[in-house]
Structures are given as C-alpha cells and as structure tokens.
Chain A
C-alpha cells in the first residue's frame, strides 16, 4: 500500500514539476522529494495518529532533502521545495471547509477552517526551521573560513 502510494505520489509530483516548467534531471529529483515527503508523512501518521505532528515531521524532511539537493545539483532550493510540499497541502481540509460553509454549518466550518490554517502554518514552520538553520550554518562556515585565511 505504502509502496503503491509512494509511486503514485512520485508520478503526481513529476507532473507538477512539468507544470512548473522544470527541465532536465531536476525533474526526477523534484519528484523523488515529493515521494520522500509522503513516506515520512504516512509513516509518522500511522505512528502518532495526529496529522499536525506528521505534517511537521514531513515538512522538515522535505526541507532537509531540498536544501541538500540544491547544493548537490547547484540549482535553486525553490525548484525542489515547491514539489516536495505538494503532497502535504491541505486539499481535503479545504474542501470540507468549503462544503460545510456552503451547507450553512457555521460552527463546523470555522473549526475546519482553523484546522486548514493550522496545517498550512505547520508546513511553513517546518520549512522555516530548516532554511534558517542551513543559513546559520552557512554563515558560521563563512566566519571559520575568514578566520583561517587571516
């Protein structure tokens, strides 16, 4: 089941990278990022059973993968990170919010809306943490090199 979903998500992310006009070997690595994020998401979801935690873990995995790949393949981080977070975006929560709003169930729709915002915020925080720490380590490296050259 997980292997099938992994392959399907990889195909879907591959198609997304075509929609974003990525070319060459970056397509494959962007798609792999989507698959890896999905694996982290579904494994932690079956362990913790709380979707916000799982999304946080998965977005951290997506961030680390993208930052490493950007350095290895000498491409902008955006190329990989956009495709990696595609499996996490709160499509289901958004749809349910919309449906409840249309049917006039205000309380449920507000609950679901806050949940949707929480998911989006969690993805943001996960990437935020990783990008900031990679920037910090780059700055520290620069300082060490500067001291060595003196």
Chain B
C-alpha cells in the first residue's frame, strides 16, 4: 500500500471539488472516503474554501501530510457530480490506483461550455426574467442585449483572473449603462424590469447555497466565509449599478436626458 500516492489522489480529488464550487464538507467527505476505501483508516482532513490539509499514518507509524492551496475558483457542477460518483464507487468497482489517477485527470480536463453558449444562455435568461417581471417584448430584447454583453465582458475579465468583486462591480456597471442608454433611445419602456432582468445573472446563488449547506454540516468557518462572499458580491453588484445611476443623475439631472 502506497500511502503517498493514496494521499495525493485524495487531496487532488478534494482540490477539484473546491475549485469548481463544491461544498467544504463534500471535499472532506470525499477525501476521507477515498482514504478509507484503500484501507487507510488513520487519516484526517481539514478543509476551508481556500486550503486543504490531509494527514495519514502508515502501519509503521510513519506520518505523511499534504497541503493544497486553492487560489482560483470557478463553477463547474458537472465535475463535482462525476467526482462524487467516482468516490462512491471505488470500493464497489474495485478501482486500482492507476485507474483512479486517469479518471481524475479525465474529470479535471472536462471543458466548460464554450463562450458562444454562455453568451446565448445569459441573453435568454435575462430576457425571460424581464418578461416574468412584467416587461414587454421591447424590454426583453434590450435586457437580452445587456445580459449577453455583460457575460462577454465578464468572461474576458475572469480569463484575466481579475478579483471577483471588481468583476461584479463591472458587471453591474455594464448592464445598467446599456439599459439606461437604450431607454433613452426609446428602445425599451420599463427601466426597472430591464435592469433587474439582466442583474439577476450576477446574483450569488452558489455562494448562498454553499454557505447554508456548510453551516448545516458544522463547518462554521467555511459557512461564514461563504456568507460574507455572497454579501460582498451582492454589494458589489449594487455599487456597480449605483455608480452609473449617480453619474447619470449628476450629468443629466434626471433619468431622461
């Protein structure tokens, strides 16, 4: 039994979960499950949203530990679903260490949807929300335009690894600016519906959900960290959108030019 290798595999699986928007307790559970399915009973893990610490001892009293720092987080729930299935099936299907390593590499290289699909999805989602809120067809088109443009800009900012709060401020800024310009060109009628429809794309749904689920699982540190993250993202969106309004009011003296 190669403890070194098992521990590396377990920490790697935990890293993939955390980097792609999984809960903290899920990462801990996965690490412990992988260790125990290779009969590494004496293993402990401690995970927060930014670090993974795993430690295990061999039968001869030799102790090994590993630390992984998580610097960059995205959302890719498909990877989490696959790792979850993999770790539950190790014992039942009798995977060897090599098989697990290749499976993990395969899961880690799953590509997200391409930019084209992301932009179309954002546009359609923003448009649908605008109609549900009570907007008309013109509002829907403007909102879809704002949502799509916002996603395009956010994609490039994220690929530069910009700070998340800065990215969200910029997102709110873009969507509000486009909506205000279109309203004043008489391309749409209901300002609030257009802006709310496109800003819904930036709502921190994942952070809220993970904050709740981590708190229930007893990971209070992670729960508080995620709750603060969600709160700050919401504030960032409001600030980005508020800047535009404030500037618009002070330059033009009202909503209409």
Q: Which residues from chain B sit less than 8 Å from chain A, CB to CB?
A: 21-23, 26, 75-81, 84-85, 112-113, 117-118, 120-122, 124-125, 128-129, 131-133, 192, 195-196, 199-201, 203, 205-206, 208-213, 215-216, 234, 237-238, 241-242, 245-246, 249
Q: Once the chains are docked, how many angstroms separate the CA of A145 from the CA of B215?
A: 28
Write the A82-121 contact mask toward B (1 if CB under 8 angstroms, else 0). 1001110101101111110111000000000000000010
Main secondary structure of the interface of B (DSSP, over half): helix
Is there an interface contact between A131 and B212, defined as CB atoms closer than 8 Å? yes
Q: Once the chains are docked, how many angstroms separate the CA of A87 from the CA of B131?
A: 13
Q: Once the chains are docked, how many angstroms separate the CA of A24 from the CA of B79?
A: 12
Cβ-defined partner of B22 (8 Å) among A18, A78, A96: A78
Compute the total of residue contacts between A and B using a CB distance below 8 Å: 139
Q: Once the chains are docked, how many angstroms separate the CA of A89 from the CA of B230?
A: 12
Q: Can you pick out 13 interface pairs between chain A and chain B where the beta carbons lie within 8 Å of each other?
A: A9-B132, A12-B125, A12-B129, A15-B121, A15-B124, A15-B128, A75-B84, A85-B205, A86-B200, A94-B237, A99-B245, A124-B211, A124-B212
Number of residues on chain A facing chain B (CB within 8 A): 47
Q: Once the chains are docked, how many angstroms separate the CA of A123 from the CA of B242?
A: 25
Is there an interface contact between B125 and A81, defined as CB atoms closer than 8 Å? no
Q: Once the chains are docked, how many angstroms separate the CA of A99 from the CA of B112?
A: 35
Not counting A92-B196, A101-B238, A127-B209, a sample of 5 additional A-B residue pairs whose C-beta atoms are within 8 angstroms of each other reads A5-B132, A21-B77, A21-B79, A127-B213, A131-B212
Is there an interface contact between A91 and B205, defined as CB atoms closer than 8 Å? no
Is there an interface contact between A18 and B210, defined as CB atoms closer than 8 Å? no
Kindly name the residue among B21, B77, B237 whose own CB sees the greatest number of chain A CB atoms within 10 A. Answer: B77
Main secondary structure of the interface of A (DSSP, over half): helix
Inter-chain contacts of A15 with B (CB < 8 A): 120-122, 124-125, 128
Q: Once the chains are docked, how many angstroms separate the CA of A79 from the CA of B112?
A: 15
Is there an interface contact between B195 and A21, defined as CB atoms closer than 8 Å? no
Q: Once the chains are docked, how many angstroms separate the CA of A82 from the CA of B230?
A: 13
Q: Which residues from chain A sit less than 8 Å from chain B, CB to CB?
A: 5, 8-9, 11-13, 15-16, 18-24, 26, 74-79, 81-82, 85-87, 89, 91-92, 94-99, 101-103, 120, 123-124, 127-128, 131-132, 135
Inter-chain contacts of A99 with B (CB < 8 A): 192, 245
Is there an interface contact between A18 and B196, defined as CB atoms closer than 8 Å? no
Inter-chain contacts of A131 with B (CB < 8 A): 212-213, 216
Is there an interface contact between B245 and A78, defined as CB atoms closer than 8 Å? no
Inter-chain contacts of A82 with B (CB < 8 A): 77, 205-206, 209
Kindly name the residue among A26, A89, A102 whose own CB sees the greatest number of chain B CB atoms within 10 A. Answer: A102
Inter-chain contacts of B245 with A (CB < 8 A): 98-99, 102
Least Cβ–Cβ distance between A132 and chain B, in angstroms: 6
Q: Once the chains are docked, how many angstroms separate the CA of A29 from the CA of B64?
A: 42
